[in-house]
Amino acid sequence: MSIVTVQLGQCGNQIGFEVFDALFSDSHCSQGFCSKKENEAYQASCKERFFSEEENGVPIARAVLVDMEPKVINQTLSKAAQSGRWKYGQHSCFCQKQGSGNNWAYGYSVHGPRHQESIMNLIQKEVEKCDSLSGFFIIMSMAGGTGSGLGAFITQNLQDEFSNSLRMNQIIWPYGTGEVIVQNYNSILTLSHLYRSSDALLVHENDAVHKICAKLMNIKQISFSDINQVLAHQLGSVFQPTYSAEGSSHYRRNPLEGFKEPALYTSWLKPVDAFSVWRTQRAFRRYEKSAALVSNSQFLVKPLDTIVGRAWNMFASKAYIHQYTKFGVEEEDFLDSFTLLEQIVASYCNL
């Protein structure tokens, strides 16, 4: 089962490159702590999922790259090609110089509809290269400008055109101290739209990843490249080819038994249905032992509530609203987003 990755904006393209590089490095690692047969099966599975292969034997990432200007895409293509190990396809990129700054509403209401056909044609061509499509992995910033608006628009189109395929969005939660003055507006608009059109949101907080770089990796001057490599490592371990461990004696004896504690879960969900384990004998990136936990929990209630509150304070004073209304995002759209996200916060608080 193959996955087509859609890399959106500067954030999505830079992280996307690191993800594919991590996946390729892992699949071609000779020290997998498993048998040759197991290693070969693992490599074949990884390749089928994330890469196709052209005539000269160089793996090509199953990806579509989209951005508003050529600089980042050109850098991403060049880095992959210079590695000599894998590369992006020659016709997998869409780039059109934007005409109105870094604006969420412009990306969603203008740039998306204007270039919808060209972008969706590129995605369709990647899908046709897959023997069996599992779904789409969309990498994007949550609080960025045009790229985030366009990402929300493209995800809706994927829902319309590929309704039977999984859509997972990997979104980067902005620093709490702020990167863009309207990041809280952008965040609530992005989240509310993706909630309606995506099957799953895989969230990474910039602040949390920054702490990993500083405290666990002891990096003194942390760059976005450092952060992106940590994100890629985490995503690579999540997407590692595995098989279910349910019912095995290893699983029954493992300390993982603690995750079967009913108190960890909401009353209407049984632990056996709430927690699944997937494992493989094949090591990830030469680590003899590794684990990745993906959870749907109350962890994001506080940061989500904070973003909604900050956005509402700005909205109440009509700050910067004109930047959105001039491109067709009306005050009613903001109110709909506030209502939906407040309902989500309330639902998670009641779990």
**pLDDT exceeds cutoff 70 at 245:** no
**pLDDT for 251:** 46
Alpha-carbon distance of 183 to 65, in angstroms, equals: 23
Rounded to a whole number of angstroms, the distance between the first and last alpha carbons of the chain is 34
Domain architecture of the chain: domains with CATH: 2-350 (3.40.50.1440)
Mean pLDDT calculated for residue range 96-108:
76
Rg (CA), the chain: 21
How many CA atoms lie within 13 Å of 182's alpha carbon, on the beta-carbon side?
Answer: 23
**pLDDT exceeds cutoff 70 at 342:** yes
In this predicted model, what pLDDT tens digit does every residue of 321-338 receive, in sequence order? Answer: 999 999 999 999 999 999
CB neighbour list of residue 284: distance below 8 Å, 6 or more residues apart = 26, 236, 237, 240, 290
In this predicted model, what pLDDT tens digit does every residue of 112-159 receive, in sequence order? Answer: 999 999 999 999 999 999 989 999 999 999 888 878 999 999 999 999
Instruction: Please state, in angstroms and as integers, the Cα–Cα distance from residue 60 to each residue in 24, 88, 185, 284, following that order.
Output: 10, 5, 37, 21
Instruction: For the chain, give the mean pLDDT.
Output: 87
**pLDDT exceeds cutoff 50 at 249:** no
